[in-house]
Structures are given as structure tokens and as C-alpha cells.
């Protein structure tokens, strides 16, 4: 079966690096479980989903996803300065990733850019925002979504929230 633009249940194994760099920033290879998602539901970054369209089980590819089709361009306005009191009980250090709750109840990830005894500067950009990404991806499964899966956006009862891949730096 070829992966279709909408309502294909797809399982992939992947490594992802920043384009032009050697360090793997996320991977599910060797984890025993492929990342499963339904096409057309926004479960993974748009550039990767678009590249998978038309591929078949067993097929592998190296896919360059430009920043705009991954986590978007870096937004300097996504940096905020907050009172240090909001971080009580947190051992602050530059580069620390923190998770909180956004206005609509969604999980929000921020990175501590700097801090002093009064304020903390945090960056709401995804850590991979503004970066082109290189995926090495293999399709390990593909099938048509059931009517229930197509309607709910859930693969076998598991809800997926927007992210590129399966974990690590790519959750959003």
C-alpha cells in the first residue's frame, strides 16, 4: 500500500539531525516501536508527512525538511521575561527546558535563556525552530485508517498531539 495524503495509518522509524550536522537530535530506531500516526491529521511536521506521501512499506528515504515546514522560523517575539517568583523550587540554569500549561490547557515547552535574582528570560520557540532538519526515515507499516480512526484521529485508541516524531526534542 502506498501512503496516501489522508487517512493512512503509518508506522515509521527515523533519525533526525539538524541539516549539515552529525548529531542525532531525535530517533526511535532500535526502540522496538515505530512512530504511528494518521496522515492528514497534523500528527507530525508537515514537511515530513508530505515527503512520506506515495512511499510504501519497506521503503527508506533521506528527507530534508526546511524550517518553515518543520517547527517554523525562529520568532524573536517568543522570548519573555518573567518574575523569578514564578520559578520557585526550580534549580535554574541556562538552557534548562521546562514544561508548563498554556492558555488552552496544552503543554508548553520553554527554554531558560538567562536569569538573575529578579527575572528569568524564557524562550517559547521550539528548540528546533528556525532549523532545517534531515530525516533518515523508513516506512515499517502502512494501512488505510478504519472509519473510527479517521473520525477520531486516534490510532488504536491513542491520541496524538502535534509533534514531528516520537519524543525527545521533537515533541511539541
- One DSSP character per residue, the chain reads -BPPSSSEEEEEEEEEEETT---EEEE-TTSSS-EEEETTTT-S-HHHHHHHTT-BTT-EEEEEE-GGGTT-S--GGGEEEEEGGGGTT----TT-EEEEE-TTS-EEEEEEEEE-SSEEEEE-S-TTTT--EEEEEEEEEEEEPPHHHHHH--BTTB---SBSSSSGGGB-
Domains and CATH numbers, the chain: 8-71+131-170 (3.10.50.40), 76-123 (2.40.10.330)
- pLDDT averaged per 10 residues in sequence order, the chain, 172 residues: 94 96 94 93 95 96 97 95 93 92 83 96 94 97 94 73 43 38
Full-model pTM = 0.79
Amino acid at each position: 500500500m502506498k501512503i496516501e495524503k489522508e487517512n493512512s495509518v503509518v508506522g515509521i522509524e527515523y533519525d533526525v539531525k539538524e541539516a549539515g550536522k552529525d548529531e542525532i537530535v531525535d530517533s526511535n530506531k532500535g526502540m522496538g516501536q515505530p512512530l504511528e500516526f494518521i496522515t492528514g491529521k497534523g500528527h507530525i511536521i508537515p514537511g515530513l508527512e508530505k515527503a512520506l506521501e506515495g512511499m510504501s512499506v519497506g521503503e527508506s528515504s533521506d528527507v530534508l525538511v526546511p524550517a518553515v515546514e518543520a517547527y517554523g522560523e525562529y520568532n524573536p517575539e517568543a522570548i519573555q521575561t518573567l518574575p523569578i517568583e514564578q520559578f520557585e523550587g526550580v534549580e535554574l540554569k541556562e538552557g534548562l527546558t521546562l514544561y508548563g500549561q498554556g492558555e488552552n490547557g496544552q503543554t508548553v515547552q520553554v527554554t531558560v535563556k538567562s536569569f538573575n535574582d529578579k527575572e528569568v528570560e524564557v524562550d517559547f520557540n521550539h528548540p528546533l525552530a528556525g532549523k532545517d532538519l534531515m530525516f533518515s526515515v523508513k516506512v515499517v507499516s502502512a494501512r488505510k485508517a478504519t472509519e473510527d480512526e479517521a473520525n477520531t484521529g486516534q490510532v488504536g485508541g491513542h491520541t496524538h498531539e502535534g509533534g514531528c516524531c516520537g519524543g525527545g526534542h521533537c515533541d511539541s
